[in-house]
Structure 1
């Protein structure tokens, strides 16, 4: 299967500049995964760097409209209907399998670039095994890893979340290391390592032992696209590491809310917004609980989902469905945002100073919910424990907390425009991005 869209934008119009690298951005996932990469790509492009963007085919319009060269990778949207996609432990296997066909095309793209061109690959963590194959075939390749959320970087320090379960602070580090190793050994390595090592054997490379040890030893530079006030750098995170603020990106920053929504919000009272994430097609029960909780509270609710079939054909008068609303425009009018805990939605709510109820299902969402709770700007209720009664009690607690709005405003004041992005552009856009990680001891987040 070939990469599509390779000539959608004339990359020759983007100046490479003397001594500057050609930056190849590689991402996977939903729009929430795409937008931080797109923000970085635009910053690199504005600084005069040559940029190529590899991502799922459905994201092509976003990238092309932003003016960056886009190369589409295959994406099977049927994965959104997989029953284990949002499972706390089996979800990783679904995501891993869904991304492999796309990632398998990355080495061919890198190999086709001019051999005399300095190149830096900036990738999602799940693209790092292929990045290592690219570097084996092209020894001058530099690799930077993008971490969109703190839980993408394993640590034995707090908050230590193993799926929906939080490890208490009093558990010693030795036990925490054992827990991590056990989780990786039984839940991650059996899924990922057969694929990784099959590729490595085909490339004539020695097999890798464990996915976490392997991928965190690959980057020359690691970049955390979230601020230290949300997640301080931990002693067992890979180095060197750059940190930025949340790279908030809105593809249509001047979009306005629909007249229907504006009328709904103008009816007075408090509005609750419920969204399980744009990629969630399995939220029928979630919305049923939300409608009844809003009714019992006597409040109005906005349901955000592009998948209308998850909702009843006839909605009660206190509920309004919207396929899409720019959160930047909506959140200032919202009493509580109830959401899945994706890092992009979490960041937008923090930026707006909107109280949050995080209902995490899988992946990084549990950790993000724990951090929202620790900041004092919301609560977390795992989706596996979601009932109408629990949802109602959580919402009552948030709505009745008179000090919550002040805490949310205080956290929102931490945001600084593009904090740290200039340094990331400087380091990534130069001919080299840092000390070669493969020349130093691999980072094992379970050792310390």
Structure 2
């Protein structure tokens, strides 16, 4: 298995690896060494890749991207720089590790390199994604902010265009790897997508069909199997957090994961003021962006880290960036959300939660202010219809077995 990106990007695939290991499979996960704790003691061998995603997100390209509100051109530039710095070393590592493998599972942004290595070695592979990736008439591309309703063919055409743009970010590096390292012909200018569909490459979509049902116009090889959660039953809640939760009404969780607000002090002040306006309590997760109140705030608990599966069920609402993993964890907890998207599929997940009636508001980070945030939180806490819908969808998600469904597909591939 190979997974790239932030902790939230990698964690679902770590969960899949752990589940496969528990079924007796020998699993190697290629990802950043800083994520070793995700699989430590769980039967998965972590193979560290070169690079440091947290450092990359603090680098000049990513800093410019966050400062300008994640404009598409800047997002592309940051991702291209990220791939050019490390892509060839990742491909060499995967080639070495996959020589004795029976099956390869590249995830997310690693699919181009993963498919190429699998082709060179002649082994089967399964693609895995945390969001819908195939073009469809049913909904717009998951990788750009939705812009109103459009005819079905418009959704399909937009999704193909965005897919090709996404390929072009990696094209130079991937085709260099194919020709110089693997001895393969380069992919065409429009990428490998049509080829993958023609060959029926299995594609696992690791999110709940309660959030996005499988479209009828997808290739049969693409399956929506349910979300992949890495649970932490061994985790013990710190005494101070436990005391805070017991001291009053359920708080609101606020955190943006690996996203880097351009000015964390300003963002924290907005959050503190919004909580004051609502009169609620909150747990503020500092995340990679370093959100932290400047002084004593009795109604806000500053949190370094805690597993979502153990923390979020104690919350009254969840304010987050809209990453696929946090969205799934929040929906599973059964409470409404406020989404503050920064880039990529985060806008799509905000749109889906709004469509389902379980989102108090989508507030772009670059436009965030205390009044808007307070109003959105208030809707989550006071709209009983929204709370009932969130609880119902949460029950659906908790009843799913996304890992079990994914393993059925993977084990069928191994038996071929």
> Does residue 121 of structure 1 match 2:101?
no
Deviation per CA, 1:419-447, whole angstroms, max 9, x where unpaired? 2533432432356477xxxxxxxxxxxxx
Question: Secondary structure, in 3 states, of the residue corresponding to 2:13?
Answer: helix
Matches within 5 A, 1:110-259: 110-112=94-96, 117=100, 119-139=102-122, 141-150=123-132, 152-160=133-141, 163-168=144-149, 171-180=150-159, 183=162, 188=166, 190-202=168-180, 203-211=183-191, 213=193, 216-217=196-197, 220-250=201-231, 252-259=232-239
CA distance in 2: counterparts of 1:219 and 1:55, whole angstroms: 26
Aligned to 1:316: 297
What is aligned with 2:55?
78
**Per the alignment, do residues 424 and 191 of structure 1 end up closer, same or farther by CA in structure 2, a change over 3 Å counting?**
closer
Give the superposed CA RMSD.
2.9
Distance 1:408 1:57 in 2: 36
The answer on whether the counterparts of 2:102 and 2:124 sit within 8 Å (CA) in structure 1 is: yes
Residue 53 (str. 1) matches residue 29 (str. 2): yes
Aligned to 1:15: none
1:377-421: per-residue Cα shift (whole Å, max 9, x none)? Answer: 223222233222221221222222122222222111113456253
Judge conservation of contact 1:144–1:220 (CA < 8 Å) in 2: yes
Structure 1 unmatched ranges of 5 or more: 1-24, 435-448
TM-score, normalised to structure 2's length? 0.86
SS state at 1:70 partner:
strand
SS in 1 for 2:343: coil
Partner of 1:414: 396
CA contact (8 A) 2:178 2:186 kept: yes
Q: Is the 8 A contact 1:164 1:382 kept in 2?
A: no
CA distance in 2, matches of 1:129, 1:312: 42
| Structure 2 partner of 1:350 | 331
- State which structure, 1 or 2, has the greater radius of gyration over its C-alpha atoms: 1
The alignment partner of 1:105 has SS state of helix
Helix, strand or coil for the counterpart of 1:166?
coil
Q: Which has the higher contact order (CA 8 A, sep 6+)?
A: 1
CA distance in 2, matches of 1:58, 1:337: 26
CA displacement at 1:275 relative to structure 2:
0.2
Matched positions, count: 403
Structure with greater proportional helix content: 2
2:255: which partner in 1? 275
- Secondary structure in 1 matching 2:63: coil
Within 5 Å, give how 1:388-407 maps onto structure 2.
388-407=370-389
SS in 1 for 2:377: helix
1:79-118 matched pairs, under 5 angstroms: 79-81=56-58, 82-86=62-66, 87-89=70-72, 90-112=74-96, 117=100
Q: CA deviation at 1:128?
A: 1.9
Per the normalisation by structure 1, the TM-score is 0.80
Kindly indicate whether the alpha-carbon contact (under 8 Å) linking 2:116 and 2:178 is maintained by their aligned counterparts in 1: yes
